[in-house]
Amino acid sequence: MCNIDDDKRRAHEMHKQEAFQGMRAYHMSEIHHKQDAISVIKSTLTLVITINGAIIATLLAQKIHPLVAISGSLLVMLATIKFMSDLVDITNEKITKDHNRYEDYRNDYIYEMIELGLENKQSHWHREENRSSSGFSKTQEIINVFRCMVINVSILGVIFTGILSV
């Protein structure tokens, strides 16, 4: 490590605190967006199951025509696909923006370390040529899996309604 004067070291320590606080804030924002999206997804799943259950129960009680039941299930499926796609796309876009701001703070801190001759290859605070995927991309994958799960449940509702309509 090279010797740097006290003023530069103090400035560097202040920038380090700023970087970590900024990174923490954007990381927490990402976590909160994920939690909110998962809550909405769980509610949507419950709603899809409830509506399709009600359609099937009404069909089995012979209170609606089979075409009305199938149409209702198809409408639920199409609405679910549209809603889930919009929700997940908006959530993933926000998570990406939070991640990009996180990376800005990280990169600024690393650049300053390099300029001051403080870069340490043993630390996780150094340049990486080929960084592996980070937690934010895994979060997006999880949310995408939940999207597919809810859409598949709505498709199953249409299939069950169709089978019971015969």
140-152 confidence digits (pLDDT tens)? 999 999 999 999 9
pTM: 0.80
The H-assigned helical ranges of 1-132 are: 6-60, 66-115
- Within 10 angstroms of residue 26's Cβ, the number of other Cβ atoms is 22
Q: At what angle do helices 66-115 and 135-165 cross, to 10 degrees?
A: 180
Whole-angstrom distance, CA of residue 161 vs CA of residue 54: 11
Q: Residue 20's Cα: distance from chain center in Å? A: 22
Q: Choose among 41, 31, 145, 144: nearest CA to 89.
A: 144
Instruction: Note the pLDDT tens digit of each residue in 10-36.
Output: 887 888 888 888 888 888 888 898 899
**Structure token digits, residue 127:** 């340049």
Number of residues in the chain: 166
